[in-house]
């Protein structure tokens, strides 16, 4: 066999002093999940959006064009969360890691990846701002409502939302593994019903105008802070679920 | 010798069944244990609980004097790669081994490289495309090269051909000689591992039915065959774990040592005396435990 004799000078020099930091390197060992897929999703959606803008502007439409395409990588992070959990957790147990080490390390790894993607988002936004939407008035990342507080605030919003979807994906994967598909589906239905109940309550009280005003008053920074709070709560919830997960 | 693993009344109940039933074990350091038993006897459950990958319903576990759950001080010194280990999505053997190198403090990289050659393990092929035997090889390499103070091997040879199995046994023995540690090898190929293991633990339906040194176990029983009447006279009053009769000839496996008088009787009555292999002893005892629940025979369990 020729494939076996390949050099095995693995790219891992010294052993990490903290096992939690080891988990970060462990999550990045296979760069596909945390590096190349997010890059591919963001780059792909960006390209498609620009092509659409170009087609539209070529047909003579003048007004500024905005799209929700830049949120695609956010949703991909829910998948990343589920993947980081799924099989990797079982292997981390074989590596004699505690659940806490695995959890914190995975969260840090997601954080690094989310910072990377938020920086790209900020960069694209700044380019769009400087070039008036690539010269055709088309905006992918520079959405005025998000950018009210400047580039850093926009980057933070993007980062927090990325982490939020990651944590939710992670948590759902844990619930699935621990309680099975029946309980997960039930939980999702209960959440949907609760949201629907909330919406019904608002409608019955004809309170939608107040709700929209609240959102508008919050501005993106306020909503980012709310999302950050949700991140903390969901992160704690998923850790508590993971603590008693068996192999 | 100091014990590294102690369990007290360890019990694991699932909704429908009891996987472990009051397991009391004390496992000594620097020794090779065989954890033997039929499929579903509770071997993997026991190892999972010892490594805090699963939780007991009741009872205590102490590893190096501490509870292993969420305890990296203790987990650090153990290695348990399971029989059908799951690996991260799209990873290959190189990823898996590089990860192991990150986390096992006593990892021996030259040994890992030798083993990769021995098992002809392709490093770049995605793990899910590897054959069963090649996947098992990853687990075996991690188990050996981790040199963890307590290493569990859970049916490590699944999919191995005879050569690969022998390589594993040889490597295990030579590395154990170089770097003594506690090894717990779960297996149902009892004859193959009989010469390897120093102590034997047999688990059946979640209960420990044998826990002693391999030598002691081997001396516990003999097989006597010959004229049915004569055999019956010899075995009367002894614990018979198995008996087969064909016409006038009976073959019986009995527990306990034979006295001089017994041997004289055997010679005189022209009976055949053969040693019982570890495998036979275990098969007979586990069968015995099954049958004694149904039939009224003089078969008894080995539980002492």
Residues A97, A94: Cα–Cα separation, whole Å? 7
Q: Is A31 on the interface with B (CB under 8 A)?
A: no
Secondary structure class of B79 (helix, strand, coil): strand
Q: Alpha helix locations (H) across A59-206?
A: 72-94, 99-130, 151-179, 181-204
Taking the domains of chain A in order of start, what are their residue ranges?
32-47+62-243
Does the beta-carbon distance from B53 to A8 stay under 8 Å? Answer: no
Q: Is A4 on the interface with B (CB under 8 A)?
A: yes
Residues B47, B38: Cα–Cα separation, whole Å? 15
Same domain, B75 and B152: yes
Question: Chain A closest CA to B89's CA: distance in Å?
Answer: 6
Same domain, B67 and B153: yes
Query: Which token pair is B47?
Result: 């190892």
Across chain B, mean pLDDT equals 90
Task: Give B51's contacts in chain A (Cβ within 8 Å).
Answer: 93, 96
Mutation target vs B (from A94, A109, A179; most B CBs, 10 A cutoff): A94
Residues B154, B45: Cα–Cα separation, whole Å? 11
DSSP code per residue over A36-96: IHHHHHHHHHHHHHHHHHHHHHHTT--S-EE-SGGGHHHHHHHHHHHHHHHHHHHHHHHTT
pLDDT in tens, A32-82: 888 888 889 989 999 999 999 999 888 887 788 888 888 888 888 998 889
pLDDT at res. A209: 87
Residues A183, A197: Cα–Cα separation, whole Å? 20
Residues A106, A117: Cα–Cα separation, whole Å? 17
List the single residue in A22, A30, A247 with the smallest CB-CB distance to B103: A22
| pLDDT for residue B97 is more than 80 | yes
Same domain, B108 and B20: yes
Does the beta-carbon distance from A12 to B53 stay under 8 Å? Answer: no
Contact B60, B23 (CB under 8 A): no
Residue B298 lies in a domain: no
- CATH number of residue B250's parent domain: 3.30.70
Does the beta-carbon distance from A97 to B51 stay under 8 Å? Answer: no
Does the beta-carbon distance from B80 to A86 stay under 8 Å? Answer: no
Contact B98, B88 (CB under 8 A): no
Same domain, B105 and B143: yes
- Residue A158 burial by Cβ neighbours in a 10 Å radius (0-12, 13-18, 19+): buried
Same domain, B119 and B238: no
pLDDT at res. B56: 95
Q: Is A204 on the interface with B (CB under 8 A)?
A: no
Same domain, B31 and B112: yes
The model's confidence at residue B289, banded by pLDDT at 50, 70 and 90, is: low
The model's confidence at residue B295, banded by pLDDT at 50, 70 and 90, is: very low
Which residues 119-138 of chain B have a CB within 8 Å of chain A?
120-125
pLDDT in tens, B104-149: 999 999 999 999 999 999 999 999 999 999 999 999 999 999 999 9
| pLDDT for residue A16 is more than 70 | no
Same domain, B169 and B271: no
Across chain A, mean pLDDT equals 87
Average pLDDT of the segment spanning B67-94? 92
Residues B31, B176: Cα–Cα separation, whole Å? 9
Task: Give B112's contacts in chain A (Cβ within 8 Å).
Answer: 8
Question: Chain A closest CA to B112's CA: distance in Å?
Answer: 9
Tally of domains in chain B: 2
Examine the fold and report which residue of B216, B242, B266 is the final residue of a domain before the chain moves on.
B216
The model's confidence at residue B292, banded by pLDDT at 50, 70 and 90, is: low
Residue B135 lies in a domain: yes
Question: Chain A closest CA to B199's CA: distance in Å?
Answer: 25
Phi/psi at B186 (nearest 5 deg)?
Answer: -90, 135
Same domain, B160 and B249: no
Residue B300 lies in a domain: no
Same domain, B206 and B85: yes
The model carries a pTM of: 0.86
Q: How far is CA B90 from CA B94, B127, B128, B137, B143, in A?
A: 12, 7, 8, 18, 22
Residue B41 lies in a domain: yes
Same domain, B140 and B73: yes
Residue B98 lies in a domain: yes
Phi/psi at B213 (nearest 5 deg)?
Answer: -75, 155
pLDDT at res. A172: 93
Task: Give B128's contacts in chain A (Cβ within 8 Å).
Answer: none
Which residues 154-193 of chain B have a CB within 8 Å of chain A?
none
Which residues 93-122 of chain A have a CB within 8 Å of chain B?
93-101
- CATH number of residue B145's parent domain: 3.40.50.300
CA angle A23, B146, B125 (to 5 degrees): 70
- B-chain residue closest to A3, CA distance: B122
Examine the fold and report which residue of B181, B216, B251 is the final residue of a domain before the chain moves on.
B216
Domain that holds residue B57: 3-216
DSSP 8-class letter at A225: H
Residue B36 lies in a domain: yes
| pLDDT for residue A175 is more than 60 | yes
Same domain, B245 and B159: no
- In 3D space, the residue among A87, A105, A231 whose CA is nearest the CA of residue A168 turns out to be A231
Same domain, B21 and B43: yes
pLDDT at res. B303: 44
Examine the fold and report which residue of B216, B250, B279 is the final residue of a domain before the chain moves on.
B216
In the numeric block, the tokens 């009995």 are attached to: B254
Does the beta-carbon distance from B98 to A11 stay under 8 Å? Answer: yes
Residue B209 lies in a domain: yes
Residue B29 lies in a domain: yes
């Amino acid at each position: 066999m020729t494939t076996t004799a390949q050099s095995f000078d693995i790219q891992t020099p010294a052993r990490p002093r903290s096992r939690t930091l080891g988990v970060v390197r462990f999550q990045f060992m296979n760069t596909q999940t945390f590096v190349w897929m997010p890059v591919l999703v963001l780059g792909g959606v960006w390209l498609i959006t620009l092509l659409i803008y170009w087609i539209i502007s070529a047909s003579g439409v003048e007004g500024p064009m905005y799209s929700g395409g830049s949120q695609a990588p956010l949703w991909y992070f829910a998948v990343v969360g589920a993947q980081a959990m799924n099989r990797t957790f079982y292997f981390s147990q074989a590596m004699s890691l505690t659940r806490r080490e695995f959890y914190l390390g995975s969260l840090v790894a997601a954080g690094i990846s989310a910072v990377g993607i938020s920086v790209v988002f900020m960069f694209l936004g700044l380019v769009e701002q400087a070039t008036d939407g690539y010269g055709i008035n088309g905006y992918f990342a520079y959405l005025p409502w998000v950018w009210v507080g400047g580039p850093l605030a926009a980057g933070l919003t993007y980062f927090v939302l990325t982490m939020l979807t990651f944590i939710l994906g992670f948590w759902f994967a844990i619930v699935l593994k621990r309680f099975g598909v029946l309980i997960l589906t039930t939980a999702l239905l209960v959440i949907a019903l609760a949201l629907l109940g909330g919406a019904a309550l608002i409608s019955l009280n004809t309170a939608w105008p107040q709700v929209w005003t609240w959102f508008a008053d919050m501005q993106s920074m306020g909503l980012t802070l709310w999302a950050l709070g949700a991140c903390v709560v969901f992160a704690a919830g998923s850790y508590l679920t993971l603590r008693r997960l068996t192999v | 010798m100091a014990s590294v693993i102690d369990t007290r009344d360890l019990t694991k109940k699932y909704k429908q069944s009891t996987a472990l039933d009051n397991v009391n074990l004390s496992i000594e350091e620097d020794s090779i244990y065989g954890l033997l038993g039929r499929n579903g006897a509770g071997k993997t459950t026991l190892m999972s609980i010892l490594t805090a990958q699963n939780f007991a319903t009741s009872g205590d576990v102490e590893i190096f004097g501490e509870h292993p759950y969420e305890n990296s001080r203790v987990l650090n010194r153990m290695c348990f790669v399971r029989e059908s280990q799951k690996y991260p999505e799209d990873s290959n053997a190189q990823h898996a081994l590089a990860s192991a190198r990150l986390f096992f403090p006593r990892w021996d990289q030259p040994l890992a490289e030798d083993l990769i050659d021995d098992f002809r393990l392709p490093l770049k092929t995605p793990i899910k495309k590897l054959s069963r035997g090649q996947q098992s090889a990853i687990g075996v390499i991690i188990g050996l090269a981790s040199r963890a103070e307590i290493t569990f091997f859970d049916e490590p040879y699944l999919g191995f051909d005879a050569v690969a199995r022998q390589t594993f046994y040889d490597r295990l023995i030579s590395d154990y000689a170089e770097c003594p540690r506690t090894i717990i090898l779960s297996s149902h190929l009892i004859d193959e591992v009989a010469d390897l293991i120093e102590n034997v633990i047999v688990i059946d339906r979640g209960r420990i039915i044998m826990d002693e040194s391999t030598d002691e176990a081997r001396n516990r029983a003999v097989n006597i065959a010959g004229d049915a009447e004569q055999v019956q006279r010899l075995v009367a009053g002894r614990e018979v774990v198995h008996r087969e009769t064909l016409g006038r000839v009976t073959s019986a496996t009995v527990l306990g040592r034979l006295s001089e008088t017994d041997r004289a009787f055997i010679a005189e009555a022209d009976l055949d005396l053969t040693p019982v292999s570890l495998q036979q002893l275990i098969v007979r005892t586990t069968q015995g435990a099954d049958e004694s629940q149904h039939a009224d025979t003089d078969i008894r369990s080995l539980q002492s």
